[in-house]
């Protein structure tokens, strides 16, 4: 399974990516994490990226494309991956298309987590407080000032990808304002609707646990269905289109 998670900072991409990793045993490729590691190690890439990241800007495309290209060549990427925080610009998306073509890999879907901007500041503040409570160092870009800049970058540079992937019939939108659990359930439901979950076996960790139920029980299904937003309805429609296209192929 090969996925992209798309959404503004604080939309829950990282959390949902980790849950997908646990469930399907595929890897999470977060350019933000890779860059933070490069900054910590003070590699040449880290030194170039440091100031840009601290101010909430976007690191040049060539740097992140290089990081992803190298990472996709490693053996653990063959089983499948979730891209979190990449691509963030149209040139990055075009470069990814090229990379995947060269590596004979096919993207299954792009999942957009749609959230209200007003909730993001609160979420990012909560993330900083939790990090502090664990005794870990808070990200230098998790401040209200930098978040405003990161959101502006998202709107200007990353939001066009919604159109990019929608045109290529890859986009599935999930209401990211639901609880973490609901968002996970909705993503899993969509993935099984488009037939993507057969592509990777569940991880050993997931097999050791009681298998999470894919479909909510009848009563729950009713209440979930009634509370589903138009966004979720759109993703159901898109999932159907996906399945039809696959059947034709």
Which listed residue (19, 23, 114, 150) is catalytic? 150
Query: Rounded to the nearest whole angstrom, what is the least distance from the CB of residue 35 to ligand AMP in the complex?
Result: 5
Q: How many CA atoms lie within 13 A of 71 on its CB side?
A: 20
Measured from the CB atom, the residue of 154 and 242 that comes closer to ligand AMP is 154
| Least distance (Å) between residue 178 CB and ligand AMP | 21
Q: For residues 204 and 5, give the distance between their C-alpha atoms in angstroms, rounded to a whole number.
A: 23
Q: Is 88 one of the catalytic residues?
A: yes
Among this protein's residues, is 127 annotated catalytic? Answer: yes
CA distances from 15 to 180, 221, 225, 235 (A): 8, 24, 24, 20
Pick the catalytic residue from 48, 71, 123, 139.
139
- Whichever of 52 and 201 has its CB closer to ligand AMP, that residue is 52
Reference 190, options 175, 174, 179, 170; nearest CA is: 174
Give Rg (Cα) of the chain: 18
Residues that bind ligand AMP in the complex, under the rule CB under 6 A: 9, 31-32, 35, 52-53, 56-59, 64, 85-86, 88, 92, 141, 150
139 tagged catalytic:
yes
Q: Which class for 198: exposed (0-12), middle (13-18), buried (19 or more C-beta within 10 A)?
A: exposed
The verdict on whether 104 is a catalytic residue reads no
Catalytic status, residue 13: yes
Q: Supply the residues annotated as catalytic.
A: 13, 88, 127, 139, 150
């Amino acid at each position: 399974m090969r996925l992209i998670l798309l959404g503004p900072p604080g939309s829950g991409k990282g959390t949902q990516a980790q849950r997908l990793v646990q469930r399907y045993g595929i890897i999470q490729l977060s350019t933000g994490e890779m860059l933070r590691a490069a900054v910590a190690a003070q590699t040449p890439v880290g030194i170039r990226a440091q100031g840009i990241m601290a101010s909430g800007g976007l690191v040049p495309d060539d740097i992140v494309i290089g990081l992803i290209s190298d990472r996709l060549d490693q053996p653990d990427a063959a089983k499948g991956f979730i891209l979190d925080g990449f691509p963030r610009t149209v040139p990055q998306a075009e470069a990814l298309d090229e990379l995947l073509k060269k590596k004979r890999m096919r993207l299954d879907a792009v999942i957009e987590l749609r959230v209200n901007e007003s909730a993001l500041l609160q979420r990012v503040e909560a993330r900083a407080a939790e990090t502090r409570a664990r005794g870990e160092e808070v990200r230098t870009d998790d401040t209200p000032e930098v978040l405003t800049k990161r959101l502006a970058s998202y709107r200007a540079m990353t939001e066009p990808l919604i159109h990019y992937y929608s045109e290529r019939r890859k986009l599935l939108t999930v209401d990211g304002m639901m609880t973490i659990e609901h968002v996970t359930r909705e993503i899993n439901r969509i993935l099984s609707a488009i037939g993507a979950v057969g592509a990777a076996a569940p991880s050993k960790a997931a097999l050791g646990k009681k298998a999470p139920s894919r479909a909510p029980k009848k009563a729950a299904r009713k209440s979930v269905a009634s509370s589903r937003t138009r966004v979720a309805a759109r993703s159901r429609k898109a999932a159907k289109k996906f399945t039809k296209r696959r059947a034709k192929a």
